[in-house]
A and B are shown apart, each in its own frame.
Chain A
Amino acid sequence: MPHARYETRGDIGEIVLSNPPLNLFDATLMAELRTAVGEAAADAPRALLIHAEGKVFTAGVDVHVFEGLDIPAADALTASLLELAHTLEDMPFPTIAAVHGLCLTAGLELSLACDLLWAAEGARFGLVERVVGITPLMGGTQRMAERAGTARAREFVYSGALYDSATLHAWGVVNRVVAEDGLLESARAFALELAAGPTVAHAATKAIVRAQADHGTRGADERTAQLTSHLFETDDSRNAVQSFLQNGPGKATFTGK
C-alpha cells in the first residue's frame, strides 16, 4: 500500500497520508507525497483536501532521514522539501488541510503550505525540530510567522512544545476547530462547496493574498487589476452577472471556466 496517495472525489482532489499508525515522513512517504502533489497539479481539481488515515495526522519526519547528513546533502533535502511546499502553495485552487491527533514537523509545514487549516478538537501541533538540534527546513517557521506573527513563531519553534487547536485557532493559524469524528466529513463538505464556486475567482483571491504577503498591501493593489480583470471574460462571471440581473443573487451555478 502506498504511504501517500492522490484520489478524486467529485470535483475535489484528496491527498491522503496513509502510513499509519504514525504516518512518519520517511523517504518512501516523501517520494510518494511528491508524486501525489504532482498528480494533483496535473489533475487541477477545483479544490484539494489533505488528510491522513489512522489516529494521528503525522508524528513528523523519520529521524533516520537526518542521520549523517553533511551540508550538501542537507541543502538538497531542504531544497526538495521547500519545492514540495511551493508546489502545493502555488496551486491555483483552494487547498485545505484537515488535521487530527498529532501534527508534527513536516506534517505541520505541509499544512501551513495549504490555504486553510482545519483542526480536530484535541489535535496538537508542534515544530519540534529542536529535539534533534535543528530547526524547521520546510518553511514552517516563516509560514507560522506569516499567520501568527514573529514573536509567536519564535516561541513555537524555540520551545518545541505542543500547542493545541484552540491556541492555534486564537493565533490565526487554524481556521476552524471541529469535533474529531466529524472533521473529515465537514472539511470535505467545505472543499466541495468551494469547488462548486467560481474557482477561477478563487485562484485570483489566492494570488492576491499571496501578493499581499509577498509585497504588502500596496504591492497587492498594484497587481490586483492584472490578477482579476480576466475574470470578467470567464463563463462563470458572465453567466453569474446575467443570473444576478435576471433572478437575483445566489442563483448562479459555476463551472470553473
Chain B
Amino acid sequence: MSLDLHALESSFDLVAPRGDELMDVFYARLFAAAPGVRPLFAQTDLRRQKGMLLGALVLLRKSLRDLDRIVPTLRELGARHVAYGALPEHYPVVGEVLIASMTEIAGDAWLPHYTDAWVGAYGIVAGAMIDGAHDAQAPIAA
C-alpha cells in the first residue's frame, strides 16, 4: 500500500507546534469515546504518557520515508503495550480519536485527504504493533 507521504508530513507539521494541546485533546476525546480504557491509565502519570505518545508520533513523522526502519520499533512498542493492558480491539478507537484530534487542532487547515492518508498510515502502525503484541503473547499461549 502506498502512503501519501506529502499529506502525512504536511498535516502533522500543522499540529506538531501545538503538540501539548494535541495530547490534551486526544486523551480527553479517548476517555470520552472509550471510558473502558481509563483504568489502563490508573497507575500512569498522564503527563508522562502524553510526552511519550507525542514522542512516538514525532518519531513516526521523521520515519515516514523509511518505514522499514521503524517497523521493528513499532512491533516492540506493541509488545510492550501488552503489559499495559492494550488489546487489539483498542487500536481502531485510538486511531479514530487521534485523527479526530489532529483535525480539531488543525482546524480549517485540515484537508479531507489528510484524513485518508492518516487512516492508511495508522493501519500500518496498528498492524505492526498488533503483530508485535501477538508475538509477545505467543510463548504464553504455546
Contact = CB atoms under 8 A, between A and B. Distances in A.
B56 to A, nearest CB: 4
B59 A39 contact: yes
A44 interface: yes
B54 interface: yes
A135 interface: no
11 contacts: A6-B55, A6-B58, A31-B19, A31-B20, A35-B19, A35-B55, A36-B55, A37-B51, A38-B54, A40-B55, A44-B73
Contacts of B56: 38-39, 42
A79 B19 CA distance: 18
Interface in B36-73: 45, 47-48, 51-56, 58-59, 73
B47 A83 contact: yes
Contact of A41 (B20, B47, B55): B55
A41 B49 CA distance: 10
Contacts of B59: 6, 39, 42-43
A8 to B, nearest CB: 8
Given A37-B55, A38-B55, A43 B73 contact: yes
Nearest to B53: A38
Interface of A: 6, 31, 34-44, 79-80, 83-84, 86-87
Given A36-B55, A40-B55, A42-B56, A86 B48 contact: yes
A40 B20 CA distance: 17
Q: Select the residue from B45, B51, B54 with max chain A CB neighbours within 10 A.
A: B51
A220 to B, nearest CB: 22
Contact of B51 (A38, A43, A79): A38
B104 interface: no
Nearest to A38: B55
A257 to B, nearest CB: 10
B55 A39 contact: yes
B77 interface: yes
Given A31-B19, A31-B20, A44 B55 contact: no
Q: Select the residue from A37, A38, A43 with max chain B CB neighbours within 10 A.
A: A38
Contacts of A80: 47
A113 to B, nearest CB: 13
B26 to A, nearest CB: 13
Contacts of B51: 34-35, 37-38, 41, 83-84, 87
A79 B51 CA distance: 13
Contacts of B54: 34-35, 38
Contacts of A84: 51
A6 B62 CA distance: 10
A38 B52 contact: yes
Contacts of A35: 19, 51, 54-55, 58
Given A38-B54, A42-B55, 18 more contacts: A6-B55, A6-B58, A31-B19, A35-B54, A36-B55, A37-B51, A38-B51, A38-B55, A38-B56, A38-B58, A42-B52, A42-B77, A43-B73, A44-B80, A79-B47, A83-B48, A86-B45, A87-B51
B76 interface: yes
A37 B45 CA distance: 15
A204 B48 CA distance: 22
A41 B52 contact: yes
A194 B55 CA distance: 24
A35 B23 CA distance: 12
Nearest to A36: B55
Contacts of B80: 44
